[in-house]
Every structure is written in structure tokens, then in C-alpha cells.
Amino acid sequence: MEQRFLSLADVTEILQITMSQARALVRTGELRGIQIGGKGVWRVENSELEAYIERMYARTAERLHTGEPDQ
């Protein structure tokens, strides 16, 4: 059975980003996550990560289509 939730460490590995970048994504709501337990450990549902990736593909395609410069 596939895990439903990922840790931020899992997210960093999948997206190849830093932990601070992953924390920023969930804190801003750009990547939906939940905090669990007394220490507020972040978890991201697999489906939310996939939705985020799809949004980034769409955003990139739009930027390329309109000729916006790389960010």
C-alpha cells in the first residue's frame, strides 16, 4: 500500500529542493500541507504534491507561451 502522506524530507528529495524551500512552499500555501502533533510536523498528501507539480507545469508553459523571462 502506497503511503498517503509525505514528510517534508520526502518532498525535498522528490522535488530536489532544500528544506527551507519546502517549508516556504507549505507556509505560503503554494503547496498544501497539514501540521500534525504537538510539534507541528508538516505532512503533504501525495495528491497535493502531484497537483502542485501539475500547476508548476501549467505555469511554466504559460510563461514560455507569453515569453516571460525565467525567474
pLDDT tens-place string over residues 9-25: 999 999 999 999 999 99
pLDDT in tens, 31-57: 999 999 988 899 999 999 999 999 999
Look up the pTM and report it: 0.86
- Which pLDDT score, from 0 to 100, does residue 71 have? 63
Q: Which of 47, 25, 46, 44 is nearest to 35 (CA)?
A: 44
d(CA 52, CA 49): 5
